[in-house]
């Protein structure tokens, strides 16, 4: 699984135009069989961040579908609208994230919230970092989440790893977080004896209310 994400925040007073831009992008993706998801940060970021994500099965489908979308007349309309004289959003980030299959449960976007943790492996400790992720997955998933691990390409976290915990709802998020407290603390204490990576960011994404 491959995800391409565009991260923006609306300019005050321009929410309607920002929503139109999002809807135009999602309509174009849908016309070419590309799945989309829209999430908004609920904590862990300095301000509100809106994530518009597209999903592809693999890099070959990414290339095929991207060419098809860019060749569609609707692409030019989106570019003309986005480049208009009245700005409606501030760009924050853009990146691709490639799933590591053996550490990623379940295809498809999360129906509910996502707790995203970004890790930068220490030099020569990538393999050990992935082993630590596997141990984390074994601790976290029994409490009601689905874990997915991605390699990030481009953007502010380029070259780092993304450990995502996906939930069906915020109630499921709360139950899981309550249930993992003791085993997670024990796991982190053990890993801390021989650290393998630095945490560089952690934030929660949820389904939007005012956008999309």
For 96-127, what is each residue's pLDDT tens digit?
999 999 999 767 899 999 999 999 999 999 99
Residue (of 147, 127, 137) closest to 194 by Cα position: 127
pLDDT digits (tens, 9 = 90+) for 8-45: 999 999 999 999 999 999 999 999 999 999 999 999 99
Residue boundaries of the structural domains of the chain: 2-95, 99-206
- Average pLDDT over every residue of 82-89: 84
User: Which residue stretches of 44-169 are H helix?
Assistant: 59-70, 73-82, 126-140
Say yes or no to pLDDT of 146 above 90.
Answer: yes
- What CATH number does the domain located at 2-95 have? 3.30.70.100
pLDDT of residue 161: 98
The two tokens of residue 171 are: 């109630």
Q: How many CA atoms lie within 13 A of 53 on its CB side?
A: 21
Is 99-206 in the same CATH topology as 2-95? yes
Report pTM.
0.93
Element (H, E) at 184: helix 181-191
pLDDT of residue 212: 52
pLDDT digits (tens, 9 = 90+) for 160-178: 999 999 999 999 999 999 9
CATH class of the domain whose range is 99-206: alpha beta
Residue carrying structure tokens 């996502």: 114
């Amino acid at each position: 699984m491959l995800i391409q994400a565009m991260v923006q925040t609306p300019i005050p007073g321009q929410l309607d135009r920002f929503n139109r831009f999002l809807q135009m992008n999602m309509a174009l993706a849908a016309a070419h069989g590309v799945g989309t998801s829209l999430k908004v940060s609920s904590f862990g970021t300095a301000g509100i961040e809106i994530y518009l994500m597209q999903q592809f099965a693999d890099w070959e489908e990414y290339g095929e579908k991207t060419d098809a979308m860019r060749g569609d007349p609707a692409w030019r309309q989106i570019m003309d609208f986005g480049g208009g004289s009245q700005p409606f959003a501030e760009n924050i980030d853009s990146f691709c994230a490639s799933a590591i299959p053996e550490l990623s449960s379940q295809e498809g976007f999360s129906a509910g919230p996502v707790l995203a943790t970004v890790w930068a492996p220490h030099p020569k400790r990538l393999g050990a970092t992935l082993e630590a992720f596997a141990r984390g997955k074994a601790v976290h998933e029994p409490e009601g989440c689905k874990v997915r691990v991605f390699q990030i390409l481009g953007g502010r976290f380029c070259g780092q790893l993304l450990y995502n915990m996906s939930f069906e709802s915020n109630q499921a998020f709360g139950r899981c977080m309550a249930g993992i407290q003791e085993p997670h603390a024990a796991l982190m204490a053990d890993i801390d004896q021989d650290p393998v990576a630095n945490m560089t960011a952690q934030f929660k994404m949820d389904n939007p209310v005012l956008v999309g």
